[in-house]
Amino acid sequence: MAKRFNTSVTCDPKKHYMVDTTAKMKVFEHLIDNGNYFTITRARQFGKTSSLKWIYNNLNDKYLVISISFEDTEEDDWISAATFYKTFCGYMVTAFQSIKIQSNTAAKFWEDAKQIENADIKDLSSKITEFCQLESKKVVLLIDEVDKSLNNQLFLNFLSMLRKKYIDRDMTGDNSTFWSVVLAGVYDVKNLKLKIRPDEQHQFNSPWNVAADYDLDMTFNPQEISTMLADYENDYHFGFDIKEISEEIYKYTSGYPVLVSQVCKVIDEILGKVWTKDNVLKAVKYIADDDKFVLLDDISKNLQRHSDLHDLLYDITINGTQYMYSPVDPVMKLAIMFSYIKKSYNSGVDIHNLIFEDAIHTYFINEYRRNNSKERQQISYDYIQNGELNMEMVIGRFKEIMADRYKDRDQQFLEYHGRLLFLCFIKPIINGTGFCYFEPQTKNGGRVDLIVNYNQKEYIVELKIWRGSKYETDGKTQLANYLKQRNLSEGYLITFSFLKNKVVQEQPEWIEHDGKRIFEAVI
């Protein structure tokens, strides 16, 4: 059977095209060799389960690796210590029944243990010691999908028991407990206060403070993406530019694992296996418009669920506010955990990838329209001429509408929503063909450069608030320099002016600045 790009289940190198992650996985191997307990905490579909599978498949020669998951755990399994004891024993029985090289001895051990009535956490601790002492290899325990149990006190007691056995291991011997325990989930077990039911008291101290820290970037860089595409090219021999396509995929995904695979999957299965930069963008648009794509649905749910997260992402994406990256801040920590933001090159904060940024923009646009349903929507047909976007007309019409529709609005409203209103205006115009995003490297000092891609042509629009003549001139200079970097001759500048005593430019006009043509509109 031919290989395919996989986005739904754990990846298998025999069945799926995969990025070569061997170097990354060696970090986990090193931790296990050192007998560390640790967590693999990443956002959804970020390679956690695939990492556990790599450990299971590649380290079983050295260790007895047991892999279980709490994904199917039911509430009844956590009613009492006795029910959790039986549930855990049952997981161990199932795990050993699936290990072909293992004798039935281990499965029988845990089947017999399961029969003990009214057992508790202390009894489970004793059984773990007894089991590990019987085994000739050091035992490694992998637990996937721990998120489902984070709110349960029994789970905390279970972690406390493992923690105590780990600490006592120096006195009781290496074989007195698991050599290494690896927990995987979205929520950091060391920060359980982030996932507590509203009617419960927040947990500030985690019993999992023995977990080892490590630094591992699990996103895929362009060179890593190219290893997957090279494998694909070896099968099909299409002759496409692997380096160019890898860099273009990275541009939109920032290496988020499932997004990388999803773009490739769309090109392979829907866009006729034509590997061009234009088709990368079409694949991105396809994903952005896919109402069944789980990650984008999660963004909507999390923005509704967490008001502070909503406000933070609005500030970053719409207002262009520059925050310093701080994993100590609880709201930012939540955004980091969901991989909605990442550290920028200057220790600031950027949205993790352009696909997420587009989804977040769309959320805020629709939210604004729901709250302002009486406002007229724009018709896009006259802004597209001969297949090209007439940005001059777009900005001219936007200025007219702002002058008419929002003339009675107060300054605070326009200053807060001005950029959002332009997104509300232009997104329906380019929808289906175009794509727009804010350039991360220019998110400083309140400046926002909007990049609009339409029909393989790029438009640069700078949106800024009037801060005085010097800032206006500086803005033109910065825009001109940016146009030079992008090898473009023309750009667009929209300035929101809220000073009542400032003479506002009557009509948008083309100006020359530093060798570049700039279409300027003051609103």
Antiparallel, parallel or unpaired: β 384-385 and 349-351: unpaired
Name the token pair of 341. 């933001």
Distance CA 109, CA 105 (A): 6
Give the model's confidence band at 444: pLDDT under 50 very low, under 70 low, under 90 confident, else very high: very low
Burial of 269 (0-12, 13-18, 19+ CB in 10 A): exposed
Burial 39-51 (b: 16+ CB within 10 A, else e): bbbbbebbbbbbb
Average pLDDT, integer, range 258-281: 96
Cβ-Cβ contacts under 8 Å for 186 (sequence gap 6 or more): 41, 42, 43, 44, 147, 337, 338
Q: What's residue 186's pLDDT? A: 83
Q: In this structure, which amino acid lies at residue 105?
A: T
Top-confidence residue, 262 or 11: 262
Q: Answer yes or no: are the C-beta atoms of 298 and 44 closer than 8 Å.
A: yes
Sequence-distant (≥ 6) Cβ neighbours of residue 451 within 8 angstroms: 436, 437, 438, 439, 458, 459, 460, 461
**What values do phi and psi take at 5, rounded to 5?**
-85, 135
Q: Range with the lowest mean pLDDT among 209-213, 223-227, 266-270, 351-355? A: 209-213
Could you tell me what percent of the chain has a pLDDT over 70? 87
Mean pLDDT of the region 200-215: 71
122-164: pLDDT as tens digits: 999 999 999 999 999 999 999 998 887 666 788 888 999 999 9
Range in 116-130, 155-169, 397-411, 454-468 the model is least confident about: 397-411
Q: Tell me: the pLDDT tens digits for 342-371?
A: 998 778 899 999 999 999 999 999 998 888
Which strand ranges, in their side-by-side order, compose the sheet holding 435-438? 435-438, 448-454, 457-465, 490-496, 516-522, 509-513
Pairing of strands 448-454, 490-496: unpaired
Query: Residue written as tokens 């297949």?
Result: 387
Q: Report pLDDT for 132.
A: 96
pLDDT at 443 over 60: no
Q: Flag whether pLDDT at 203 surpasses 50.
A: no
pLDDT value of position 414: 64
Q: What is the 3-state secondary structure (H, E, C) of 277-324?
A: HHHHHHHHHHHHCCCCCHHHHHHHHHHHHCHHHHHHHHHHHCCCCCCE
Position 200, amino acid? E
Quote the pLDDT of residue 45.
86
Question: What is the pLDDT, as a whole number, of residue 497?
Answer: 76
Spatial separation of the C-alpha atoms in residues 30 and 61, rounded to whole Å:
15
The pTM (predicted TM-score) of the whole model is 0.86
Give the per-residue pLDDT at 412: 63
* Choice between 277 and 482, residue whose per-residue pLDDT is larger: 277
Q: What is the DSSP string of 163-190?
A: HHHHHTHHHH-GGGS-SEEEEEESS-GG
Q: To the nearest whole number, what is the mean pLDDT of the chain?
A: 86
- pLDDT tens digits for 310-325? 999 999 988 888 899 9
Q: Is the pLDDT assigned to residue 442 strictly greater than 70?
A: no
Assigned token pair, 336: 């980091």
- CB-CB contact of 321 with 25 (8 Å): no
pLDDT, residue 154, reads 84
Contact 164, 215 (CB under 8 A): no
Give the span between the Cα atoms of 464 and 444, in whole angstroms: 11
The span from the CA of 352 to the CA of 455, in Å, is: 25
**Residues 13, 279: Cα–Cα separation, whole Å:** 25
